[in-house]
Structure 1
Amino acid sequence: MKAKIWRSFVVGLVAVAMLTLSACSEAKKEQGTQSGALDSIKQRGELIVGVFGDKPPFGYVDANGANMGFDIVIAKQIAKDLLGDENKIKFVLVEAANRVEFLRANKVDIIMANFTKTPQREEVVDFAKPYMKVSLGVASKDGTISDVAQLEGKTLIVNKGTTADFYFTQNHPNIKLLKFEQNTETFAALKDGRGDALAHDNTLLFAWVKDNPEFGVGIKELGERDVIAPAVKKGNAELLEWLNSEIDTLVQQKFLTQAYEQTLAPVYGEDVRAVDVVFE
């Protein structure tokens, strides 16, 4: 009996040891992947960046199938500074709700999909230094909704997983939310009357109402002013450090202002100043 008990004890110890070694091996493998992030990208010869495909003028796909917009211009410059060629980049289209998962699953190196930095998101991804300023806004027919109190008893349209979704869910649970995955679905729902108003980044709404003058941004700024920044997988310290230095360089070289003038100024016109949107 004692021999059987001893054998069971030994077998248990071996099993625990094997599990521990396996976990350590996986941890070291993951650590190695994170610490060699820049080398991996350089060996691959391509930077993989998650972007929006339906959020003009920040990230969208034009009639020729090319990725265009403010985020795209900055991403290409990042690829140029890292790999020596702005064309050494692969764009992967993401939705607001799956940006974190794409980083976790190593489907992308960086998320550049108008990603607002929030405390909740900082728990699951690492944000680099910001390149853009943003607040929430609310658009409605003729801009008639100018106060959150007017949304009581009405339907507000938002994108799943966005700061607008989080803000109204936490702060105004009595307001009915109609949620969609894609921006195209969200704005289509507003236009065909499925909702009374739409909450989104004010920088996007300012651009959208230019093309849809029957709507207006009645609430131009809501909640705290936030920032938009590139994001990398949690713990990817090497890529994060490089990105922080890169953003500093882009600010010093006034590249962000140039990108604004190229992509956003033609849309905003005189209504918005570069200093209100980008870091200079």
Structure 2
Amino acid sequence: MKKFAVLLVVLSLIAGVLAGCGQSKSSSNEKQQSQEVSKDSSKEKSNEIQKIKDRGKILIGIFTDKPPFGYVDENGKNDGFEVALSKRFAKDLLGDESKLEFVPLEPENRIPFLQSDKVDLIMANMTVTDERKQVVDFTNPHLKVAIQILAKDNSKITSVDDLKGKKVIVTKGTTADIYFTKNHPDIELIKFTKVTESFQALKDDRGDVYVNDNLLLFDFVKDNKGFKVLDIRLEEPSPIAPAVKKGNKELKEWVNQELSKLGEEKYLHKLYDEYLKESFGDNVKNPTDVIVEGGKWE
């Protein structure tokens, strides 16, 4: 009986050792598979530019109703400051400025289009905010902007407090919309999807003022008598930057390097003279009040 008991103990110990080896081997295999998956995932993320090259074109989201940044000209062609910059990106990335597809956007669908891979890059007057940085990645900036108020020449408004009891027109998804919703929920907002609709609503007296990026408002007053941009900045100037999908570090870094390279030839100054100077007139004293050459925010 004693021998039999000893034999059982020995067999039990051998079974335990074998089980431990099996678990160790299984754990080792799982760890190796996990590392391989991680490597594959990392490799996939690092091939974003190669995907664009394999496709043969870059998908860039733009505005079509925001002159002088993105609009459709009299010949039905996309044009504007950000459109021209997008073409230069395509030329330097793919060797031909025509190797791109412009995807029309509205302010409220910019982020969803990026998240669903309908675009690789957003070039649609997108102001950098802390909220947006949670869901997309911004490159270095190419423009700077402030939120201001567009009103009729006879307007008596001198501060944001004067907007209480007024109807304030905003475009959905813009920083102006976000600003009032967050900071002044007591002010009535009249919201429209398109910038053109918002401007028309103000002309038709469906609201007392229209609030948006001052760069767009400056262009509007140039061709529309009877309106003025009030000398009230709702916030300090903020950067406007291209945006990529969250985690797309490769394309983000490429754009940053491209902006730096273009800064050496003062390329944004050239685009300013071509697209912005006439539109802004005396409202902008210095091009650097609007453009951020080389992506260097100061």
With the shorter chain as reference, the TM-score category is 0.7 to 0.9
Distance in 2 between the 1:35 and 1:207 partners?
A: 40
Which one-letter code corresponds to 1:160 in the other structure?
Answer: K
Return 5+ residue gaps in structure 2 as ranges: 1-32, 294-298
The equivalent of 2:65 in structure 1 is: 54
The letter for the 2-side match of 1:89 is: L
Distance 1:143 1:103 in 2: 42
Among 137, 142, 163, the alignment partner of 2:148 is 137
- More deviation, 266-275/250-259: 266-275
Q: Which has the greater radius of gyration?
A: 2
Query: CA 1:237–1:157 in structure 2 vs 1: closer, same or farther (change >3 Å)?
Result: same
Matches of 2:208 and 2:40, distance apart in 1: 51
1:218 to 204, 207, 230: 230
Q: Percent of aligned pairs with the same residue?
A: 50
Partner of 1:105: 116
Counterpart position of 2:19: none
Question: Secondary structure, in 3 states, of the residue corresponding to 1:200?
Answer: strand
Is the aligned partner of 1:257 residue 2:269? yes
Which structure shows the bigger proportion of residues in strand conformation?
A: 1
Q: In 2 relative to 1, CA 78–143 (structure 1 residues): closer, same or farther, beyond 3 Å? A: farther
CA separation of 1:231/1:182 partners in 2, compared to 1, >3 Å: closer, same or farther? same
Retained in 2: the 8 A contact 1:159–1:180? yes
TM-score between both structures, scaled by the size of structure 2: 0.82
Cα distance in 1 for residues equivalent to 2:211 and 2:275: 23
- Over the aligned positions, Cα root-mean-square deviation in angstroms equals 1.9
Tell me the distance in 1 between the aligned counterparts of 2:223 and 2:168.
21
1:88 lines up with 2:99 in the alignment: yes
Name the SS for the 2:168 alignment partner: strand
Q: Does the Cα contact within 8 Å between 1:147 and 1:219 map onto a contact in 2?
A: no
216-225 vs 40-49, greater mean Cα deviation: 216-225
Alignment of 1:181 onto 2:193: yes
Shift of 1:252: 2.2
Q: Which contiguous aligned blocks of 4+ residues in structure 1 show a shift greater than 6 angstroms? A: 27-30
- Of 75, 79, 88 in structure 2, the residue corresponding to residue 64 of structure 1 is 75
Structure 1 portions without partners, runs of 5+: 1-20
> How many residues matched?
258
State the alpha-carbon separation in 2 of the partners of residues 146 and 202 from structure 1: 16
Alignment partners' CA distance in 2, 1:62 and 1:249? 29
| Pair 247,171 (structure 1): closer, same or farther in 2 beyond 3 Å | same
Amino acid at match of 1:57: P
Shift in Å, 1:224: 2.1
Q: Name the residue aligned to 2:279.
A: 267
Asked if the contact 1:135/1:226 (under 8 Å) is kept, the reply is: yes
Separation in 2, partners of 1:146, 1:248: 40
Q: In structure 2, the residue corresponding to 1:174 is in which secondary structure?
A: coil
For the residues of structure 1 that align with 2:276 and 2:154, how far apart are their CA atoms? 22
1:1-280 map, 5 Å: 32-142=43-153, 144=155, 145-272=157-284, 273-280=286-293
Alignment CA distance shift 1:172-1:85 (3 Å)? same
**Is residue 159–residue 232 contact of structure 2 (8 Å, CA) maintained in 1?**
no
Q: CA deviation at 1:150?
A: 1.5
